[in-house]
Amino acid sequence: MAEETQSPAAAPAVRVPHISSQQVGLWFIHRADPGCAAYHLVFSARITEDGGLAAKAAGVLADLVREHEALRICFRPGPEGGPEQWVQDSVPLDVETHEARGLGADELNARIRADSRVPFDLGRPPLWRVRLYRTGAREWVLTVVMHHIAFDFWSLALLLTEARRRLEVTPGTAGTAGTPGAAEIDGSAFRAYAERQDAFLESPEARALLAAETARLADAPPSLDLHGDLPRPPEPSHEGGSAAFSLSAAASEAVRRLARETASTPYMALLAAYVVFLGRLSGRRDVLVGTPTSGRLQRRFRNALGNFVNTVVVRGEADEEATYRQLVAAAKERALDAMRGQEIPFPRLVKELALPRDPSRTPLYQAGFAWDRLPLSPELGQFFLLEPDLGTEVRIAGAVLRPHPLPQQEGQADLWVEMGGERDGGYVGVLRFTTDVFTAETGRELAAAFAATVETLAARPDEPVRTLPRGDAGQLARLNAWGTGPRRELPEDTLPGLLRAQARRTPQATALVADGEEWSYGRLLGAVRAVAGALRAAGVRRGDRVGVPADRGAPLVAALLGVLEAGAAYVPLDPQLPADRLGYMAEDSGARLLLTQESLRSAVPGGLPVLCLEEVLGGARGGAGGTGEGAGTAGAGEGAPWDGEPAPVTPADLAYVLYTSGSTGRPKGVAIPHGALVNLLLAMRDDTGFSADDAMLAVTTVSFDIAGLELYLPLVAGGRVLLCDSATAADGAALAARIADSGATWMQATPTSWRMLREAGWAGHPGLNVLCGGEELPRELAEFLAPRVASLRNVYGPTETTIWSTSGRVAAGRGVDIGAPIANTLLYVLDEYGRRVEPAFPGELYIGGDGLALGYWDRPELTAERFVTGLPAAPEQRLYRTGDRARWTGDGRLLHLGRLDNQVKLRGYRIELAEVEAVLQAAEGVSAAVVVVREDRLVAYVVAEPGAEPKPAELRALAARSLPPYMVPGLVVPLAELPLTANKKVDRKRLPAPKDAGLDRSAPFEKPRDATEITLARMWTELLDLPEVGVHDDFFEVGGHSLLAVRLAAAIRAEWDVDIPVATLLRHGTIAELATVVRQGGQEAARGPMVTLRRADGGRPLFLFHPFGGTVFCYVELARHLPPGRPVMAVQAPGLDAEGEAEVSVEEMAARYLGHLREVQPEGPYALGGWCFGGVIAFEAARRLREAGEEVDLLVAIDSRAPIPENIPESADDATLLSWFARDLAVPYGKELDIPADELRALGGDAAFDHILARAAAAGVLPEDADRAQVLRYFEAYLANGIALQTYLPEPADVDLLLLRAVDEPADYGPALGWDGLVKGALRIVDVPGDHNSVMYPPHAAVAAGAIAPHLPGPPGEARQAGGGAGSAPEGAGSAPEGREEPRQAPEAPEGTQRDDERR
Amino acid sequence: MSDQAQTIDDVRDVLIKAIASEAGYAPAELPTDRPFTEFGLDSMAALSVGMEIEETCGLSDLPVTLLWDHPTVDALTEALWALMQGELTATAAEGQ
């Protein structure tokens, strides 16, 4: 068959005057992503025929195209940026036939699928196409692809029906064959639809509907916020997958019956189940579901070709307390509520709601539910199912059509469920999911979970939903398999028993290396026995608790094991902890005795008997020689002073009580039995393969339970413990060296410690196996570690389930999960009713098995709360409730989603802080990031990598690229280091308040409160490109600068016809203040030239004079960075706000400005300064003050060229100044605008000025609609200043001058810029980075401020000098370090953190 | 087509015919006091019935939830009849 190709030659076309809102919406989606195939409607069939059908069909199609303009429409961009609808007079058919007989089935399907996804060019009709693939002599596969912007499924069904009808007309009646369809389908009504919609939207009825819809949805949650398998990209790719599902005939009949009984429809009943499903998936009760309506409400659109579909949003309530019957009744009401608004186009509704912009998700709803029933025969309906009845056959004009299912419309939203079809008496459907965040396995689990939800609810419609099980049998089996650790028989033994056995096997082998000394197994066992003997002698009995405050070292290990050997339980008391806390632990645990060292005797809690290790071990060694090296040779310490039988300790006996921070502010003890410890050690031995050849570098403090693994795992495997002292463990470089020198093959540490190593330049160690746990392992750290070590395991577990409960290898590039349960361990992810959640659903992680603690020491209520039995998922099991959120992915990986209490809700959004942290941590130059909520605002604390200085603004911008706006931290606070707990985990409670870090906002975040503030806030967000601003945010603190201020003033003028001088923005820099000015019609008292840049009580101001142009915005950055305590005021040119006031001589300016200045400060000493020309004015002002007998204690000129004849440009005419003016306009934007003076000179006058405006607008530094008069006033002031400078040639003056010289400025005016001839006093020159312009903008302005600071003493009585080193912003230098240095000793520290007890 | 000489019984007959056809009932057997949902009518069927009403009763721009608000043949007949009277009155008023 010949290939027909379309010709792109444009045919004559006419514009359709109207276009529907839905079409406009789809056009914008397509414009943003021209490769998007999510809106392709596809019909596909396998055809068997005897020949001739294709040619005949082509004829029918050609007729249809000729007859119906709907088949010839296309969309072109209109003059206002939106689309216009055009109908082309003639359009070639887009029909291609392809030879596919050589292709296998999979290849063919891939080919067809790829072809069906080839994007349309919406400007080039036809927006539909037909493809035929020849698969056999009489076999074809047909696809019809249409773009949804021009068609809907109804249209597709109409076309199929019509084509079929025409094909079946016999040739004998050909005389009427061209027209009989004309009355049947209507190819022009789409015009009337769009026109009607436009008219309708102007009507009072539409306004009332819109108001009702807005009221219905205004307070809806902003997004469904589904947990995914992959991080959500900032913008959707419109790629997706499909998973088919089916309901049993019984469930389907139950749904139909329930619908009848509740006077609703099956659609509503299934929608109710979908809402339950989504509620569980999102953790929300209030759930929005998009649902399409046909839009063909009027008779005349019934047979029309076009796109009439509109989506309405049902606001469902996922109420687990209700019965399904009640939920169906509720869903009916909610669906009707939504349907009432169906004539409001969805895009219009979105616009009306003015939702915060979140380009990563579809607006308003992220999950859809479609009930498709087409005006087709039921057989043809099968062709649209993903899993049709494959026996379906339809005969058309002698050919046989069979279904050829093809996935389509994937990637429109996060989730779509489409139903309406049936097979074998049961409903069938397809669940479409975005592959941006879900894997195919997860998609299948979601489909299975939805089907199971319907089956369960429909079977028991009169029981509360929360009492019904979740998931299906297959899912339950998978969850069981994933959550059950290997079964391992445990010996009836304890750790001392295992040690004895090992010492018997290898008495001479090295067990322990500490402080350069090696201890054999024999010696260690001897020491253990000596300790045990001494304890028994001191009256310690089985079950007693013994407090062990001891420094790290071999004696500590012997002490811990000795306590166990004696049948008692130890309580680690880290001497580094505050004494109060240690005292509390000793008392709470009811310790009978303290086992300590001589050196610590005075520091241990009082009131208890004390046994000194030196006495015990020294005595033993000195005595019968039993515990020294000799003991080993004597055979497992048989000769040790042991006065009795080994204590009859059983696995159920208490081994240790470990204290973790409690939420009440007092630590709580976790009571771990021997059996749990043995289980952990043997399980981890199996998991890691740790052998007698291995050596573990032990770095963790014993007060952190994971130390137990480091100290004991080697001993039960016959390997070596290399005990690292705490000083080395806390020093990255030293630790790196120790790793290299010690021969360690294993090391366990928290992510914080690994990060510390990385920062110290550690390059990894190919022989080192790594266990990383205790905190969330960030992906970027995993990516760093994995390729640099022998193996990387992520381990997870709370103290309450004994050190670790899961372990898993981490490979680069695969993401981080927490691994699989270790031996004899059970994992459950449960919902709030204790039911297992389906794979892919989030829930709380519960842990059962042999690792469980006995409970909390002496805290029965707390124990009962956290260690629970009788949950529906596992009634017989005792489970520990971790407080961690987790989720199984579809392929059985367990993802940790953070602490339940670490998930915050901010302004209606659910935010996982770890997700924000991950993004910041991945940023270049960032070593660590912690995000917390403070004052209703996200605050990020970041620690830079060595040598890097990531800028807060850049980090925010980076976060904004990959996170939705509500997850972008409002404030980024750089810290030198993060506060850590004793266990080397981040201590969130000790993060300094932003104000202590010097970066506080002047006031808490507050949303706009009235129309004026809302409008102002919108202007700001648009100008500053921010997601949101608070009404107390200062314009210049959130990124504004002078030219944006001009644009803001222009916007305010356009909005309210209120004239606000830009200088007012400096004085009223917040939305709240500005709104007041606007409300008062712009009247503002006392518009003097003095502008307060920073207030401060008591001190004399630093006065800064304006540069060329007269504005003082340039000082905003500088003022922010000058040391606190002194006010900073700026003098701007009076000509800026009114015409004709520009001064034309420096002398007159100085005289006039001094008048204002003396009103503020009547007498000296004065501090004056300025940048550029401002320095010259300051010089003249200082000269005059000195002449008047006043003292000037600071005169600073920032890259000001001295007013001497040599510095006067040769041709500083208007054109030259205009050229400079243009250049300076661009500076704050970091752009260059070089317009040669010659060019301007040639244009002359107004034309030159307009040229500047146009060029500046083109460069994006002025708005298109810039207020010409305002900019002209700027230029006039600039011009006046230029003339003043050229005519100012002062005599040398008796002043001192501090000159800041911008070292990167290419123009050379000599080392002192000419000042050496003018300054009779001291001339101090400081070089600062930047060129003449950039010196006043970030980052250089902070350095300039730092250079001025030492010369700007604080007010009397304020001793602190905040100057500090140049190059770093001095803010925060005052208080933050104090906060950092003291925390450990602080007696109130024990309230510590809730995060300390459970490790993730 | 609109026929202004219709009686309320004509309207009822039109409805019975349309709904019985969608629901697969013989017109004589359709219970007129039972909710449409009992006959398994869904929104698609409602749309068809609505279109039928539009055509035969001379009404346009019917409320989108008409069949839900008047969910039986009897109730819908009353509602439509009231609407048609209103329509006539409005037309007459415009005619003045």
Whether residue B68 and residue A336 make contact (CB cut-off 8 A), yes or no, is yes
How much of chain A exceeds pLDDT 90, in percent? 50
Q: Say whether A1332 sits in a helix, a strand or coil.
A: coil
Q: Average pLDDT in the A1134-1144 region?
A: 61
Lowest average pLDDT, out of A256-265, A870-879, A934-943, A1185-1194, goes to: A934-943
Q: What confidence tens digit (pLDDT) does each residue in A547-602 have?
A: 999 888 999 999 999 999 999 999 999 887 778 888 999 999 999 999 999 888 88
**All structural domains of chain B with their residue ranges:** 8-94
Q: Of A1169, A1223, A1204, A1222, which is closest to residue A1285 (Cα–Cα)?
A: A1204
- pLDDT computed for residue A183 by the predictor: 47
Q: What confidence tens digit (pLDDT) does each residue in A473-494 have?
A: 999 999 999 999 999 999 999 9
Q: Average pLDDT in the A610-625 region?
A: 68
Q: Average pLDDT in the A715-724 region?
A: 97
Residue in the structure block whose two tokens are 């059983």: A650
Write out the DSSP string of A1028-1085.
Answer: ---TT-BTTTTT--HHHHHHHHHHHHHHH-----HHHHHHS-BHHHHHHHHHTTT--S
Q: Average pLDDT in the A1113-1117 region?
A: 77
Residue A698 pLDDT level (bands cut at 50, 70, 90) = very high
- Beta strands A789-796 and A806-809 are antiparallel
CB-based contacts of A151, cutoff 8 Å, min separation 6: A41, A70, A127, A128, A305, A306, A307
Lowest average pLDDT, out of A805-814, A836-845, A854-863, goes to: A805-814
**Distance from C-alpha of A1277 to C-alpha of A1286, rounded to nearest angstrom:** 14
Q: Say whether A960 sits in a helix, a strand or coil.
A: helix
- pLDDT computed for residue A1063 by the predictor: 64
Q: Tell which CATH classification among 1.10.1200.10, 3.40.50.2300, 2.30.33.40, 1.25.40.10 matches the domain B8-94.
A: 1.10.1200.10
Residue A1109 pLDDT level (bands cut at 50, 70, 90) = confident
In chain A, residues with a C-beta closer than 8 Å to the C-beta of B64 are 297, 339-340, 342-343
- pLDDT computed for residue A31 by the predictor: 87
Between the CA of residue A1326 and those of A1107, A1118, A1300, A1309, A1347, what are the distances in Å? 20, 16, 5, 15, 7
Residue A618 or residue A102, greater confidence: A102
CB-based contacts of A1186, cutoff 8 Å, min separation 6: A1192, A1293, A1294, A1295
Q: What confidence tens digit (pLDDT) does each residue in A1242-1285 have?
A: 887 788 888 888 888 777 676 555 667 777 877 887 888 888 88
- Beta strands A95-99 and A128-134 are parallel
Which chain B residue lies closest to A341 (C-alpha atoms)?
Answer: B64
- pLDDT computed for residue A1036 by the predictor: 64
Which chain B residue lies closest to A200 (C-alpha atoms)?
Answer: B61
Lowest average pLDDT, out of A69-83, A980-994, A1077-1091, A1224-1238, goes to: A1077-1091
Q: What confidence tens digit (pLDDT) does each residue in A1271-1282 have?
A: 787 788 788 888
**Could you count the other beta carbons within 10 Å of the beta carbon of residue A1133?**
30
A257 to chain B, closest Cα gap in Å = 9
A243, β-bridge pairs:
A431
Whether residue B47 and residue A296 make contact (CB cut-off 8 A), yes or no, is yes
Number of residues written out for chain A: 1400
pLDDT tops 90 at residue A653: yes
Task: Specify the amino acid at residue A1156.
Answer: H
pLDDT tops 90 at residue A1007: no
Which chain A residue lies closest to B51 (C-alpha atoms)?
Answer: A299
Lowest average pLDDT, out of A251-255, A615-619, A962-966, goes to: A962-966
pLDDT tops 50 at residue B16: yes
pLDDT tops 60 at residue A635: no
pLDDT tops 80 at residue A880: yes
A258 to chain B, closest Cα gap in Å = 10
- The encoded tokens of residue B52 equal 């039928």
In chain A, residues with a C-beta closer than 8 Å to the C-beta of B42 are 265-267, 371, 373
pLDDT tops 60 at residue A5: no
In degrees and rounded to multiples of 5, residue A909 shows phi and psi of -95, 140
With 0-12 / 13-18 / 19 or more C-beta atoms within 10 angstroms meaning exposed / middle / buried, residue A366 is buried
Whether residue A297 and residue B50 make contact (CB cut-off 8 A), yes or no, is yes
Residue in the structure block whose two tokens are 């709360």: A865
pLDDT tops 50 at residue A1133: yes
In a mutagenesis test of the B interface, which of A154, A255, A291, A298 is the best target, namely the one with the most B β-carbons within 10 Å?
A: A298
pLDDT tops 90 at residue A126: yes
Task: Region of A515 please: left (phi>0), alpha (psi -120 to 50) or beta.
Answer: left
Element (H, E) at B27: none
pLDDT tops 70 at residue A1054: yes
**Distance from C-alpha of A624 to C-alpha of A640, rounded to nearest angstrom:** 8
Write out the DSSP string of B33-49.
Answer: TS-GGGGT--HHHHHHH
**Distance from C-alpha of A627 to C-alpha of A295, rounded to nearest angstrom:** 91
Chain A residues bordering chain B (beta-carbon distance below 8 Å):
256, 259-260, 262-267, 293-294, 296-299, 302, 336, 339-340, 342-343, 371, 373
Residue A1062 pLDDT level (bands cut at 50, 70, 90) = low
How much of chain A exceeds pLDDT 70, in percent? 86
Q: Average pLDDT in the A272-281 region?
A: 97
pLDDT tops 50 at residue A48: yes
Q: Of A709, A678, A671, A984, which is closest to residue A800 (Cα–Cα)?
A: A671
With 0-12 / 13-18 / 19 or more C-beta atoms within 10 angstroms meaning exposed / middle / buried, residue A313 is buried
A205 to chain B, closest Cα gap in Å = 11
- pLDDT computed for residue A1011 by the predictor: 67
**Distance from C-alpha of B45 to C-alpha of B71, rounded to nearest angstrom:** 13
pLDDT tops 70 at residue A906: no
Q: What confidence tens digit (pLDDT) does each residue in A316-343 have?
A: 999 999 999 999 999 999 999 999 999 9
Choose from A742-756, A808-822, A889-903 the range with maximum mean pLDDT. Answer: A742-756
Residue B67 or residue A62, greater confidence: A62
Lowest average pLDDT, out of A1198-1207, A1390-1399, B68-77, goes to: A1390-1399
In chain A, residues with a C-beta closer than 8 Å to the C-beta of B44 are 294, 373
Residue A633 pLDDT level (bands cut at 50, 70, 90) = very low
Residue B10 or residue A244, greater confidence: A244
Whether residue A298 and residue B42 make contact (CB cut-off 8 A), yes or no, is no
Residue A624 pLDDT level (bands cut at 50, 70, 90) = very low
Residue A871 pLDDT level (bands cut at 50, 70, 90) = very high
Indicate the residue of B40, B41, B64 with minimum beta-carbon distance to A342: B64
**Distance from C-alpha of A1060 to C-alpha of A56, rounded to nearest angstrom:** 73
Q: CA triplet A1368, A1370, A1373: central angle to 5 degrees?
A: 115
- pLDDT computed for residue A1082 by the predictor: 58
With 0-12 / 13-18 / 19 or more C-beta atoms within 10 angstroms meaning exposed / middle / buried, residue A1070 is buried
Which chain A residue lies closest to B56 (C-alpha atoms)?
Answer: A299
pTM over 0.90: no
**Could you count the other beta carbons within 10 Å of the beta carbon of residue A3?**
9
Between the CA of residue A946 and those of A755, A950, A998, what are the distances in Å? 12, 11, 21
Whether residue B40 and residue A263 make contact (CB cut-off 8 A), yes or no, is no
A1152 within 8 A of A1266, measured Cβ to Cβ: no
Whether residue B65 and residue A339 make contact (CB cut-off 8 A), yes or no, is yes
In a mutagenesis test of the A interface, which of B1, B39, B43, B59 is the best target, namely the one with the most A β-carbons within 10 Å?
A: B43
**Could you count the other beta carbons within 10 Å of the beta carbon of residue A1087?**
14
Whether residue B64 and residue A340 make contact (CB cut-off 8 A), yes or no, is yes
Chain B residues bordering chain A (beta-carbon distance below 8 Å):
35, 37-38, 40-44, 47, 50-51, 54-55, 60-62, 64-65, 68, 71
Whether residue A294 and residue B41 make contact (CB cut-off 8 A), yes or no, is no
Residue A202 or residue A953, greater confidence: A202
A1299, β-bridge pairs:
A1197, A1325
Sign of the dihedral through C-alpha A1112, A1114, A1116, A1121: negative
Residue in the structure block whose two tokens are 């002449």: A1187
**Distance from C-alpha of A506 to C-alpha of A496, rounded to nearest angstrom:** 15
pLDDT tops 90 at residue A1029: no
- pLDDT computed for residue A1194 by the predictor: 93
Whether residue A260 and residue B37 make contact (CB cut-off 8 A), yes or no, is yes
- pLDDT computed for residue A1219 by the predictor: 85
In a mutagenesis test of the B interface, which of A260, A268, A303 is the best target, namely the one with the most B β-carbons within 10 Å?
A: A260
Residue A1286 pLDDT level (bands cut at 50, 70, 90) = confident
Task: Region of A403 please: left (phi>0), alpha (psi -120 to 50) or beta.
Answer: beta
Whether residue B51 and residue A299 make contact (CB cut-off 8 A), yes or no, is yes
Residue A1117 pLDDT level (bands cut at 50, 70, 90) = confident
Q: What confidence tens digit (pLDDT) does each residue in A1350-1382 have?
A: 888 766 544 333 333 333 333 333 333 333 333
Between the CA of residue B74 and those of A263, A1392, B10, B37, B52, what are the distances in Å? 16, 71, 13, 14, 17
CB-based contacts of A350, cutoff 8 Å, min separation 6: A363, A364
Q: What confidence tens digit (pLDDT) does each residue in B21-70 have?
A: 888 888 888 888 988 888 877 777 777 888 788 877 777 778 888 888 88
Q: Average pLDDT in the A863-891 region?
A: 94
In chain A, residues with a C-beta closer than 8 Å to the C-beta of B51 are 298-299, 302
- pLDDT computed for residue A808 by the predictor: 95
Q: What confidence tens digit (pLDDT) does each residue in A927-986 have?
A: 889 998 876 678 899 998 888 888 777 787 778 776 766 677 878 888 888 888 777 778
In a mutagenesis test of the B interface, which of A153, A261, A262, A297 is the best target, namely the one with the most B β-carbons within 10 Å?
A: A297
Indicate the residue of B43, B50, B62 with minimum beta-carbon distance to A267: B43
pLDDT tops 70 at residue B91: no
Element (H, E) at A683: helix A674-688
Indicate the residue of B37, B44, B68 with minimum beta-carbon distance to A373: B44
Indicate the residue of B37, B50, B51 with minimum beta-carbon distance to A263: B37
What are the start-end ranges of the E strands in A966-1052?
A: 971-975
Residue A952 or residue A1400, greater confidence: A952
Which chain A residue lies closest to B58 (C-alpha atoms)?
Answer: A299
pLDDT tops 70 at residue B88: no
Cis peptide before A119 (omega within 30 of 0): no
Q: Say whether A303 sits in a helix, a strand or coil.
A: coil
A561 within 8 A of A528, measured Cβ to Cβ: yes
Q: Which stretches of A460-596 are DSSP H helices?
A: 473-483, 495-505, 521-537, 554-565, 579-588
- pLDDT computed for residue B4 by the predictor: 54
Between the CA of residue A499 and those of A170, A1230, A1279, what are the distances in Å? 95, 69, 90
**Could you count the other beta carbons within 10 Å of the beta carbon of residue A1291?**
7
Residue in the structure block whose two tokens are 């209507």: A186
- The encoded tokens of residue A1171 equal 């940048």
Residue A275 pLDDT level (bands cut at 50, 70, 90) = very high
Residue A61 pLDDT level (bands cut at 50, 70, 90) = very high
**Distance from C-alpha of A432 to C-alpha of A413, rounded to nearest angstrom:** 8
**Distance from C-alpha of A92 to C-alpha of A72, rounded to nearest angstrom:** 9
Q: Say whether A680 sits in a helix, a strand or coil.
A: helix
pLDDT tops 50 at residue A1021: yes
Q: Average pLDDT in the A386-400 region?
A: 90
B36 within 8 A of B24, measured Cβ to Cβ: no
In a mutagenesis test of the A interface, which of B47, B49, B52 is the best target, namely the one with the most A β-carbons within 10 Å?
A: B47
B35 to chain A, closest Cα gap in Å = 6
pLDDT tops 50 at residue A1086: no
- pLDDT computed for residue B2 by the predictor: 44
Number of residues written out for chain B: 96
Chain mean pLDDT for chain A: 84
- pLDDT computed for residue A123 by the predictor: 94
DSSP structural state of residue A614:
I
ipTM: 0.82
